[in-house]
Amino acid sequence: MKRALALVASLAVAIAIGMSAGAAVFPAGDWLDALRGDPGPATTILWRVRLPRVVTGALTGGMLAVSGVVFQALLRNPLAEPYLLGVSSGAALGAVSALALGLSASAYFALPLAALAGALVAIGVVFEVARVQGRLDTRVLLLAGVVVSAFFSACVLLILTFVPADTLRSAFFWTLGSLSGASWRMITAMLVYTVPALVVLFGLSRQLNALTLGEETAGYLGTETESVKRIAFLLASLLAAAAVSVAGVIGFVGLVVPHAVRLTGVRDHRALTPMSFAAGACALVLADAAARTVAAPMEIPIGVVTAFLGVPMFLILLRRAVRS
Amino acid sequence: MICGLEGVAFRYRGRSADALTDVDLTVSEGTHVALVGPNGAGKSTILRLLTGVLTPSVGRATMLGRDAAAWRRRDLARHVAVVSQGGEAEVPLTVRELVSMGRHPYLGAWSALTRGDHTIVDACIESVDLTALSACDIRELSGGELQRARLARALVQEPRILLLDEPTAHLDLGHEAGFMELVGQYTVTQGVTVVAVTHHLNVSARFADRMVLLASGRILKEGPPDEVLTPELLEAAFHWPVEVVDLGVLGRHAIAGTRDSVDGNV
């Protein structure tokens, strides 16, 4: 309970920081004007630009973290996450292909669907490669994920080379992510399908707990393993695909965030999943604030920030996994 | 009959030979049945058929009056619990958390453990003598302690049937006897039915009411330990000379002989 309150407080602080970070600095009076809704540059920037951006960041971070938690439970591997499994770049390829074929960037439902298709293709290929005698070899899995990811990113860049720049977002967006395109319409559309997905995944918490003991044991404890796995893989991929379709490919959130939450002693998915959502929201809002301010007025890609935090942690976890 | 197989044959996908052929097995309520036989004889396959994880290619596997595979996992887990060799040692959980997971089939998606659940969990931890270690990380337990914790998790399911898949494979003589003694107590006090796969003929001779000797997917002999543990049958099953010694109160003991004592016709 204490941890949950601390998380909510941190999220509030993160949102406040996210709202005040940026090229334009507003004095307290402008904030009050904006809160009252008085027309002016402060109101426009805070309500139309920064708040949607912060909300998109929070949702994207939360979804990526939950996606990581679910993949980790299903694969019984703390290193599993959508970016490293190739799911994110698969989603990016799906989205870019659909856009290149003429889908409008404001197709708020069709675009994530295309991304989901790409994500599922990626995960299918990775699993097929890593399956040894009916079981997934975790080391091969991550290796295959990274290689498939490199290939899909290459495909994305190839398409971007040939398609006119105004139809598609930049290569930066599709390889390192950005929250700059956030809008309220995009957010509402995203909530329509991610909220049910999150609710179902939260509801599967006990089953995910059981699955961490292994599939056979989980079955003996009363879990319908096959259907739980199928639903959870699909929804975790959907969350990652949704994140990619609004914010591009942002790596390592699904790795770092659940790990940090576990470090506080939380293992039960009934707490781990919602807390990871909140912590992921917090982390990505802060990462975006950093991306906007570190080299202001220039903006660095948010994926650079998350990689700087995520890669060292990945290496530490990998080292630990190899040793044991 | 509480569970059993009728004329069952089973073949794993992609294999050229049956794992089980023409197997009939009847387990009566409240008995302890030991499945013995060489590696690959089909012992664990029988457990998987009884739990509905596998379905017979031919014949019928029944569990509590129904087709074993027809059970919803959650309903089945309220009647049948399984303890196998291992699998979750690397997971960071306390003994109590591990044991509590046995309540899984009784809980809703969001509901917490009730006071009644906690009482059962405590009682089962106590019955396997792990109360002092209940806050310990399971990764720090010895092999014997971990198996007892897993037995407690199975007992927390309040099963009518306990299926054991080589639960004592990694235990020394003393811990093995202790583990089987605990299981035996449950058979007597709660009327729990036990079906145990094991390689340890002597231990099962002591604890089992009936033994089923399997070889190459067929039942060679089914009956009380006295009738199954004969040198002729064991040699036929294991392809190795065996002496059987009657130790009176301790029952019959099978001792693998050296090769030169018979005309090794393998």
Per-residue pLDDT at B251 exceeds 70: no
Q: State residue B88's pLDDT score.
A: 62
CB contact under 8 A, A203 and B109: yes
Give the pTM.
0.87
Write phi, then psi, for B83 (nearest 5 degrees): -120, 120
B15, B47, B49, B73: best to mutate for the A interface, most A CBs within 10 A: B73
B81 vs A contacts (CB less than 8 Å): 220
CB contact under 8 A, A221 and B88: no
Q: State residue A44's pLDDT score.
A: 80
Three-state SS across B99-143?
HHHHHHHHCCCCCCCCHHHHHHHHHHHHHCCCHHHCCCEHHHCCH
ipTM above 0.90, yes or no: no
Per-residue pLDDT at B68 exceeds 60: yes
B135 vs A contacts (CB less than 8 Å): none
CB contact under 8 A, A212 and B88: yes
Per-residue pLDDT at B262 exceeds 60: no
What lies within 8 Å, CB to CB, of A101 at 6+ separation is: none
Question: Between A214, A219, A270, which is nearest B88 by CB?
Answer: A214
Q: State residue A92's pLDDT score.
A: 93
Task: Give the 3-state secondary structure of residue B32.
Answer: strand
Interchain CB contacts (distance < 8 Å): A and B: 61
> What is the bridge-based pairing of β-strands B161-165 and B80-83?
parallel
Average pLDDT score, chain B: 87
- pLDDT tens string for chain A (324 positions)? 788 888 899 999 999 898 888 777 777 777 777 777 777 777 888 888 889 999 999 999 999 999 999 999 998 888 889 999 999 999 999 999 988 887 777 778 888 899 999 999 999 999 888 887 767 777 788 889 999 999 999 999 999 888 876 666 777 788 788 888 888 988 999 999 999 999 999 999 999 999 988 888 999 999 998 899 989 999 999 999 999 999 999 999 999 999 999 888 888 899 999 999 999 999 999 999 999 888 877 888 899 999 998 899 888 888 887 776
Q: How confident is the model at residue B258 (pLDDT cuts 50, 70, 90)?
A: low
Greatest CA separation for chain A: 66
Question: Between A212, A216, A324, which is nearest B91 by CB?
Answer: A212
CB contact under 8 A, A222 and B78: yes
Per-residue pLDDT at B266 exceeds 50: no
Q: Which two tokens stand for residue A212?
A: 């961490």
CB contact under 8 A, B88 and A209: no
Per-residue pLDDT at B259 exceeds 70: no
B101 vs A contacts (CB less than 8 Å): 209-210, 213, 221
The total of other beta-carbon atoms located within 10 Å of residue A159's CB is 18
- Residues of B with a Cβ under 8 Å from any A Cβ are 51, 53, 72-78, 80-82, 84, 87-88, 90-93, 97, 101-102, 104-105, 107, 109-110, 157
- Closest alpha carbon within chain B to A324: B90
Q: State residue B26's pLDDT score.
A: 94
Highest mean pLDDT, choosing among A132-141, A198-207, B138-147, B173-182: A198-207
CB A118 within 8 A of CB A92: yes
Q: Which two tokens stand for residue A3?
A: 């941890």
What lies within 8 Å, CB to CB, of A217 at 6+ separation is: A210, B82, B84, B87, B88
